[in-house]
Amino acid sequence: MNIYLAPLEGITGWIYRGAVQKCFGGFDKYFIPFIKPNQMGRFSAREKKDILPEHNKGMHAVPQILTNCAEDFVQTAKKLEQYGYKEINLNVGCPSKTVVTKGRGAGFLAFPERLDLFLEEVFQNCPIDISVKTRIGTESGEEFPKLMDIYNKYPIKELIIHPRTQKDFYKIFRIWMCLKKRSAQEGIKYVITEILHRKKMSVIFRNSFRK
Protein backbone atom coordinates (compact mmCIF):
# COMPACT_ATOMS: atom_id res chain seq x y z
CA MET A 1 0.00 0.00 0.00
CA ASN A 2 1.22 3.46 -0.89
CA ILE A 3 0.30 6.67 0.89
CA TYR A 4 -0.36 9.94 -0.92
CA LEU A 5 -0.62 13.42 0.53
CA ALA A 6 -3.75 14.91 -1.00
CA PRO A 7 -3.90 18.56 -2.09
CA LEU A 8 -5.95 20.97 -0.02
CA GLU A 9 -6.10 24.49 -1.41
CA GLY A 10 -4.81 27.01 1.10
CA ILE A 11 -3.41 24.32 3.40
CA THR A 12 -0.97 21.92 1.74
CA GLY A 13 1.24 24.55 0.13
CA TRP A 14 4.99 24.16 -0.30
CA ILE A 15 5.82 25.15 3.29
CA TYR A 16 3.34 22.62 4.69
CA ARG A 17 4.50 19.85 2.36
CA GLY A 18 8.13 20.54 3.22
CA ALA A 19 7.41 20.40 6.94
CA VAL A 20 5.48 17.13 6.59
CA GLN A 21 8.22 15.60 4.46
CA LYS A 22 10.96 16.70 6.88
CA CYS A 23 9.18 15.74 10.10
CA PHE A 24 7.32 12.61 9.04
CA GLY A 25 8.19 11.55 5.49
CA GLY A 26 6.68 8.28 4.35
CA PHE A 27 4.51 9.64 1.53
CA ASP A 28 4.90 8.11 -1.91
CA LYS A 29 3.47 11.16 -3.67
CA TYR A 30 2.76 14.75 -2.67
CA PHE A 31 0.03 16.31 -4.77
CA ILE A 32 0.35 20.06 -5.27
CA PRO A 33 -2.90 22.09 -4.89
CA PHE A 34 -4.52 22.71 -8.24
CA ILE A 35 -3.29 25.23 -10.77
CA LYS A 36 -5.98 27.21 -12.60
CA PRO A 37 -4.77 28.31 -16.04
CA ASN A 38 -5.54 32.01 -16.55
CA GLN A 39 -5.96 34.38 -19.47
CA MET A 40 -2.47 35.79 -18.90
CA GLY A 41 -0.98 32.37 -19.58
CA ARG A 42 1.31 32.41 -16.55
CA PHE A 43 1.43 31.04 -13.04
CA SER A 44 0.22 33.10 -10.11
CA ALA A 45 2.72 33.95 -7.38
CA ARG A 46 1.27 31.21 -5.15
CA GLU A 47 1.34 28.62 -7.93
CA LYS A 48 4.93 29.40 -8.87
CA LYS A 49 6.12 29.06 -5.28
CA ASP A 50 4.30 25.73 -5.04
CA ILE A 51 5.93 24.22 -8.14
CA LEU A 52 9.51 25.49 -7.82
CA PRO A 53 11.85 22.47 -7.73
CA GLU A 54 13.74 23.87 -4.74
CA HIS A 55 10.48 23.88 -2.78
CA ASN A 56 9.86 20.19 -3.50
CA LYS A 57 13.25 18.61 -2.87
CA GLY A 58 13.32 15.01 -1.72
CA MET A 59 9.70 14.27 -2.59
CA HIS A 60 7.74 12.91 -5.54
CA ALA A 61 5.60 15.99 -6.17
CA VAL A 62 2.75 15.95 -8.71
CA PRO A 63 1.12 19.22 -9.84
CA GLN A 64 -2.64 19.21 -10.35
CA ILE A 65 -4.48 21.20 -13.03
CA LEU A 66 -8.10 22.38 -12.81
CA THR A 67 -9.57 23.29 -16.21
CA ASN A 68 -12.07 22.18 -18.85
CA CYS A 69 -10.07 23.69 -21.73
CA ALA A 70 -7.74 21.22 -23.45
CA GLU A 71 -5.54 23.95 -24.90
CA ASP A 72 -5.00 25.50 -21.47
CA PHE A 73 -4.21 22.10 -19.99
CA VAL A 74 -1.60 21.28 -22.64
CA GLN A 75 0.07 24.70 -22.42
CA THR A 76 0.28 24.40 -18.63
CA ALA A 77 1.63 20.86 -18.89
CA LYS A 78 4.40 22.03 -21.22
CA LYS A 79 5.39 24.75 -18.75
CA LEU A 80 5.44 22.24 -15.92
CA GLU A 81 7.64 19.94 -17.97
CA GLN A 82 10.19 22.76 -18.11
CA TYR A 83 10.29 22.66 -14.31
CA GLY A 84 11.21 18.99 -14.47
CA TYR A 85 7.83 17.37 -13.79
CA LYS A 86 7.14 14.00 -15.40
CA GLU A 87 3.51 13.62 -14.31
CA ILE A 88 0.55 15.95 -13.92
CA ASN A 89 -2.86 15.30 -12.46
CA LEU A 90 -6.20 16.38 -13.96
CA ASN A 91 -8.73 17.41 -11.31
CA VAL A 92 -12.26 16.31 -12.20
CA GLY A 93 -13.09 15.61 -8.58
CA CYS A 94 -13.42 18.99 -6.83
CA PRO A 95 -17.05 19.31 -5.59
CA SER A 96 -16.96 23.02 -4.70
CA LYS A 97 -19.94 24.92 -6.10
CA THR A 98 -17.74 27.79 -7.29
CA VAL A 99 -15.79 25.26 -9.37
CA VAL A 100 -18.68 23.04 -10.47
CA THR A 101 -20.85 25.89 -11.76
CA LYS A 102 -18.08 26.69 -14.27
CA GLY A 103 -18.07 23.11 -15.55
CA ARG A 104 -14.73 22.34 -13.93
CA GLY A 105 -13.72 19.77 -11.35
CA ALA A 106 -16.56 17.35 -10.66
CA GLY A 107 -18.80 19.65 -12.71
CA PHE A 108 -17.01 18.39 -15.84
CA LEU A 109 -18.43 14.91 -15.18
CA ALA A 110 -21.92 16.15 -16.06
CA PHE A 111 -20.74 16.48 -19.67
CA PRO A 112 -19.16 13.11 -20.57
CA GLU A 113 -19.03 13.83 -24.31
CA ARG A 114 -17.08 17.04 -23.67
CA LEU A 115 -14.82 15.21 -21.22
CA ASP A 116 -14.12 12.56 -23.87
CA LEU A 117 -13.14 15.18 -26.46
CA PHE A 118 -11.02 16.98 -23.87
CA LEU A 119 -9.11 13.80 -23.01
CA GLU A 120 -8.63 12.94 -26.66
CA GLU A 121 -6.99 16.30 -27.33
CA VAL A 122 -4.79 16.39 -24.24
CA PHE A 123 -3.50 12.86 -24.73
CA GLN A 124 -2.63 13.69 -28.33
CA ASN A 125 -0.65 16.76 -27.32
CA CYS A 126 0.54 16.49 -23.73
CA PRO A 127 4.28 15.78 -23.45
CA ILE A 128 4.20 14.13 -19.99
CA ASP A 129 2.21 11.47 -18.13
CA ILE A 130 -1.33 12.30 -17.04
CA SER A 131 -3.13 10.89 -14.02
CA VAL A 132 -6.76 11.75 -13.28
CA LYS A 133 -8.57 12.46 -10.01
CA THR A 134 -12.29 11.77 -10.48
CA ARG A 135 -15.52 11.30 -8.61
CA ILE A 136 -18.02 8.63 -9.65
CA GLY A 137 -20.51 11.12 -11.09
CA THR A 138 -22.41 14.27 -10.30
CA GLU A 139 -25.82 13.00 -9.15
CA SER A 140 -25.58 9.21 -9.01
CA GLY A 141 -23.16 6.33 -9.06
CA GLU A 142 -25.07 5.08 -12.10
CA GLU A 143 -23.03 7.59 -14.11
CA PHE A 144 -19.79 5.83 -13.28
CA PRO A 145 -19.81 2.99 -15.87
CA LYS A 146 -20.05 5.50 -18.72
CA LEU A 147 -17.20 7.52 -17.21
CA MET A 148 -15.07 4.38 -16.91
CA ASP A 149 -15.75 3.56 -20.56
CA ILE A 150 -14.31 6.97 -21.41
CA TYR A 151 -11.30 6.68 -19.12
CA ASN A 152 -10.45 3.24 -20.51
CA LYS A 153 -9.94 4.75 -23.96
CA TYR A 154 -6.83 6.65 -22.86
CA PRO A 155 -3.37 5.79 -21.46
CA ILE A 156 -4.06 7.32 -18.05
CA LYS A 157 -1.08 6.75 -15.78
CA GLU A 158 -3.29 6.41 -12.73
CA LEU A 159 -7.01 6.92 -12.17
CA ILE A 160 -7.64 8.16 -8.63
CA ILE A 161 -11.29 7.52 -7.77
CA HIS A 162 -12.90 9.52 -4.99
CA PRO A 163 -15.76 7.26 -3.84
CA ARG A 164 -18.53 9.84 -3.93
CA THR A 165 -20.63 11.87 -6.35
CA GLN A 166 -20.33 15.64 -6.54
CA LYS A 167 -23.63 15.98 -4.66
CA ASP A 168 -22.32 13.74 -1.86
CA PHE A 169 -19.54 16.24 -1.20
CA TYR A 170 -17.67 14.35 1.59
CA LYS A 171 -20.55 12.48 3.24
CA ILE A 172 -21.53 9.18 1.62
CA PHE A 173 -19.12 6.37 0.72
CA ARG A 174 -20.35 4.61 -2.44
CA ILE A 175 -17.41 3.08 -4.24
CA TRP A 176 -17.90 -0.65 -3.72
CA MET A 177 -21.39 -0.78 -5.21
CA CYS A 178 -20.02 1.02 -8.27
CA LEU A 179 -16.86 -1.02 -8.75
CA LYS A 180 -18.04 -4.47 -7.75
CA LYS A 181 -19.25 -5.32 -11.24
CA ARG A 182 -16.45 -3.53 -13.07
CA SER A 183 -13.22 -4.28 -11.24
CA ALA A 184 -12.52 -7.52 -13.08
CA GLN A 185 -13.14 -5.91 -16.47
CA GLU A 186 -10.91 -2.84 -16.43
CA GLY A 187 -7.55 -2.63 -18.14
CA ILE A 188 -6.74 0.75 -16.62
CA LYS A 189 -4.76 1.09 -13.41
CA TYR A 190 -7.02 2.68 -10.85
CA VAL A 191 -6.81 3.80 -7.25
CA ILE A 192 -9.57 3.88 -4.64
CA THR A 193 -9.18 6.67 -2.14
CA GLU A 194 -10.51 7.63 1.22
CA ILE A 195 -9.66 10.86 2.95
CA LEU A 196 -8.74 10.97 6.62
CA HIS A 197 -8.99 14.37 8.28
CA ARG A 198 -6.88 14.94 11.38
CA LYS A 199 -5.76 18.44 12.26
CA LYS A 200 -6.51 19.49 8.67
CA MET A 201 -4.19 16.89 7.19
CA SER A 202 -5.62 14.93 4.26
CA VAL A 203 -4.09 11.60 3.44
CA ILE A 204 -4.90 9.32 0.54
CA PHE A 205 -4.45 5.61 1.01
CA ARG A 206 -3.83 3.91 -2.24
CA ASN A 207 -4.66 0.40 -3.42
CA SER A 208 -3.73 -0.34 -6.99
CA PHE A 209 -5.52 -2.77 -9.24
CA ARG A 210 -4.53 -3.93 -12.68
CA LYS A 211 -6.27 -6.34 -15.00
Q: Which residue has the higher pLDDT, 20 or 188?
A: 20
Domains present along the chain, CATH in parentheses: 4-203 (3.20.20.70)
pLDDT at residue 84 in the model: 96
Question: What are 139-176's pLDDT values in tens digits?
Answer: 888 888 899 999 999 999 999 988 888 777 666 665 55
Compute the distance between CA of residue 73 and CA of residue 131 in angstroms, rounded to an integer. Answer: 13
Identify the CA nearest to 105 among candidates 127, 82, 135, 147: 135
Question: What are 60-82's pLDDT values in tens digits?
Answer: 999 999 999 999 999 999 999 99
Compute the distance between CA of residue 46 and CA of residue 13 in angstroms, rounded to an integer. Answer: 9
